[in-house]
Amino acid sequence: PTRTVKTAVENLVEIGALRMLSTQAASMVRDATVPNAGDPHSRPRRLRPLALTALGYHLAHLPMDARLGKMLVFGSILQCLDPVLTVCAALAYKSPFVKPFGKANAANASSVLRDKFSYLGSDHLAIVKAYDEWEKVAAQWRGGKAAVRHPRSEQERAGSRGAATALSEREFCSANFLSRDTLGMIRQLRDQFKQQLCEIGFISSGRGDGGSQGLAEAQQPGAWDAHARNLELVRCVVCAGLYPHIAHSLRSPNGKGVRLVTRDREQVFVHPGSMNARLTSDYPPGVFVCFHTCVKTSLPFLHDSTIVGKYALLLFANQVKIALTRDAVLLDQWIKFKMPEHGAVLCKLLRKELEGLLVRKIQNPRLDLAKDHPAQLALDAVRRLLELDSHTVHL
């Protein structure tokens, strides 16, 4: 159907996978008319030709939601892939957190989860923390059971006695309101996504091979995970994938607290089960959050959200305009904030560098950016810029 195609094209333009050959890219897509279903003589307005961007070329080779593909591409380029794999797998399937029956039990679960897994104002990073802890417990439990079955030395017997009292995988999941089955599916999807990245050359198997052999070698920590512990960087990569699903906080008309508003000026609410449930009461105006899912029940709720800073928005927005006389930046005709001219120009140059790296990967799919000195200089500058968001984001 024409409307479906129009929406799909608009979404691909917004994430940077397609661009109009006209300078008025986004507006041309939005202004395109849809024929009247009851009028057989109506014709759709002809859209201007579309061009596939470098990012779009790579996303075309990843059989998944384009937003998740974009997240994986930037996660591998910025060398923080492992936690990004977890986020993408959870978004592709579902959250591993489970909600117990009853309001009191649900409230208690939310409190426990916030105390244990809340980090950097992000539901997505909370999933990363929960998954990583589950993997550790699962590995210890598997090792402990093996030691109990085959204690070959006194030292192993002593270890097996400790393993017998260790927290089991099921107990860990029960205590932390986690679904063991969902975590297992996330693990499988992580492997699947990793293999797909290996096949298109974004992570190296060591010999340039894809397929199952490449995946087996790619399971070992590599250069693509050199910054995997930098969760502030990961938060920015999440923003890269979810943009333009952004909401920002404005002061409420009554002066009490703030309200969250999307690009369409629709007021949305953080879900009570979210790590950011207190966002509208404890945070000042001017906070930006990216989200994957907004579900309309009694109210439009953001089921998952991550607080992001202006540098991530500036690097990964579709269109950037700089108001030279006002030290202001306008992103995609709706996000506006103050920034010195030299800082905004630097960000635009870094955007071009990222685009250039994606073009080079098209020209040479097996190019190892981790071993390319000019690429690493550019990526180091990007990482340093994104890390500045940790000082500007209100947490």
Share of the chain above pLDDT 90, in %: 40
Q: What residues does each domain of the chain span?
A: 1-52, 103-226, 240-392
55-111 confidence digits (pLDDT tens): 999 999 999 999 999 999 999 999 999 999 999 999 999 999 988 776 656 666 777
- Stronger pLDDT, 184 or 22, i.e. the higher one: 184
Residue 213 host element (H or E): helix 211-218
Query: What tokens appear for 3 in the block?
Result: 């409307």
Q: Name, of 45-59, 81-95, 128-142, the range with top average pLDDT.
A: 81-95
Distance between CA atoms of 30 and 227, rounded to whole angstroms? 38
Average pLDDT on 120-138 reads 93
> What's the mean pLDDT in 315-333?
83
pTM greater than the 0.75 cutoff:
yes
Contacts of residue 211, defined as CB under 8 A and 6 or more positions apart, other chains included, come to: 195, 198, 199
3-state SS, residue 289: strand
CB proximity list for 375: less than 8 A, separation 6 or greater: 357, 360, 369
Unique residue bearing structure tokens 């089955």: 181
State the Cα–Cα distance between residues 33 and 141, nearest whole angstrom: 59
Whether 144 shows a pLDDT value over 70: the answer reads no
What are 268-283's pLDDT values in tens digits?
Answer: 999 888 888 877 676 7
Q: Which amino acid is at 394?
A: H
